[in-house]
Structure 1
């Protein structure tokens, strides 16, 4: 069994036995066509591991704190699904250029108070970023939560994430690529 298969097995077992806030039950996995539908709406590919979480485990409702957002449909709590939240954030970022939303950064989990865990779908390792909009400016609102989606899932499973009480005071590094990823390239 590959490392990814072992991770998916662990995630599935944890998903069956724990319920994040606001989720009365674990949803079914998405339909096989849902990842392709999401990619068409987003305009970029989902990392294979993220697509597997949705298609093999559940359409959200597992993971740290409030759990993963559903991919395309709104959850019982009424929050938007990941694709809808991304599209909304991109639109709001166009309206307010001081707070742009980076292309390819998909919110996957809500932390409350406007904070999101987001997967950088433009990087091969699918880094997980923390968006903390309560900062004074957008440059200080983005942090590296985990260098990869794999590491983020391991932190949740192992109880080593920054959000755990035992890790109170754990500092996250600012996301150095924020301005590079949100500043339009000059046209020749």
Structure 2
């Protein structure tokens, strides 16, 4: 677990990452990555980096890189317009929509669907919160980012 954010990215590094993703990141994420740090802090143990090779002190593996995850989506995965934010434990991952108004945050559970019931992988997707800003503010204010997501899961 990192002790704080990794060093911020230069704007040119951020723009190269956006070119690779194929979408512009929300302004709030752009500011986070260029003014605060290249991941390693935030909800659920920390936002993914936009660059490879960050290794938190005392660990044997590199920190997760959102671009690598974006490029190596196995089989069915969330659309490319959804950007990986961080893992959610077990088979769950948090994503943000790069194209929807206010950039809602989505939770994907790869084990959250049952083929025998006629479900498909997209049935593992859950709307978690109305905006990236709300999701991050919940964390920054000491709240639990799971609260709203769990409410939507239990309504299904």
Report the TM-score range of the alignment, normalised by the length of the smaller protein. Answer: 0.7 to 0.9
Moved beyond 3 Å, runs of 4+: 167-170
CA distance in 2, matches of 1:24, 1:158: 19
CA distance in 2, matches of 1:79, 1:58: 13
* TM-score, structure 1 as length reference: 0.68
Tell me whether 1:122 sits opposite 2:99 in the alignment.
Answer: yes
CA distance in 2, matches of 1:75, 1:141: 30
Alignment gaps of 5+ in structure 1: 1-21, 175-188
- Indicate the residue corresponding to 1:110 in structure 2: 87
Q: Secondary structure at the match of 1:107?
A: strand
- Indicate the residue corresponding to 1:144 in structure 2: 127
CA distance in 1, matches of 2:63, 2:111: 19
CA distance in 2, matches of 1:28, 1:70: 10
CA distance in 1, matches of 2:67, 2:133: 21
Q: How many residues align?
A: 143
Tell me whether 1:57 sits opposite 2:41 in the alignment.
Answer: no
- Indicate the residue corresponding to 2:58 in structure 1: none
- Indicate the residue corresponding to 2:11 in structure 1: 32
| RMSD between superposed Cα atoms in Å | 2.3
* TM-score, structure 2 as length reference: 0.80
Distance 1:107 1:168, change over 3 A: closer
Alignment gaps of 5+ in structure 2: 56-60, 114-119
Q: Pairwise mapping of residues 20-99 of structure 1 onto structure 2 (< 5 A)?
A: 22-76=1-55, 77-89=61-73, 92=74, 96=75, 99=76
